[in-house]
A and B are shown apart, each in its own frame.
Chain A
Amino acid sequence: MENILAFIYEYKEPIFIIILSIFLGIEVISHVPAVLHTPLMSGANAIHGVVIIGAIIVMGHAESTLPMILGFIAVILGTLNVVGGFVVTDRMLEMFKKKKK
């Protein structure tokens, strides 16, 4: 029990961020028109590509071969998520714009 309490105490800042971000995420999305569901999902998909930072950190401190290989793959996968996600979202939204004039 003390273990858990100490953990919460030690990580109080990230826990704050998590709680506030949850409410923020709900607030930001709640009034979106159905037309935008797909681009929004795709855009959010690109944003969670931020996981690539973790991949870069792991790769940056990898010393033996296996972590190097796994890290290399992780960075590639993360980049695919980020770049592909943003580009495909932009492509979708580009079309919305063109027809609006």
Chain B
Amino acid sequence: MINQYLETFMIFRGEIFKAFYETLDMMFTAMVISLIFGLLLGFILFITRSDGIYRNNTVYFICSSLINITRSVPFILFIIVMIPFNRMLIGTGFGVNASKIPLSLIGISIFARFTEQDLLDVNKNIYETSYALGANTIQYFTYFLLREARSSLILSFTSTIISLLSYSTVMGIIGGGGLGYLALSEGYHNFNYKLMWIIIIMMILLVQIVQAAGNFIARISDKR
């Protein structure tokens, strides 16, 4: 039986590697963008909250609503309604590059919420402590807040990556390709269930590796 699976793998290895590359390509861009802008947006949420150091209800409401909207639209529909936006931004609504846009946006939204929550979990006294020790606001962020939230942020980002991986599987709808799309089109729709299972196993392994790596990095960075 294993032989049959190996055979299927060998027959489709070209397609599998191509799809795997597409998945990694989409993921990499979306991860980098989510990390930078999600963190930034999370910080903005944290400081503009009603108990934040730069309280601003308008800014908080706008940012928070944008995140909620992005997360509440069913993702397949979100991909579709984003097509005109993709076209405006990079000239085409379809393909791997266009897929990176909705994927990045959902990544930013997820990670921003996580970041806000992680920063809220840091001891509230830390702001006053940083002031009393002579730190300015930027130093408060870098030397105090980020340092204390570090390991939670790493775990949150790990979860974000895993969410992105599952979101990336439906990108076939706008020609994004990737492993999920191959499993669905070649595997499920073409009755090649062996191929489908091979890809499911690959995805499981991928998630396991990402989670293990995230846990490891979080553990070595956490001295609490």
Chains A and B are bound partners: no
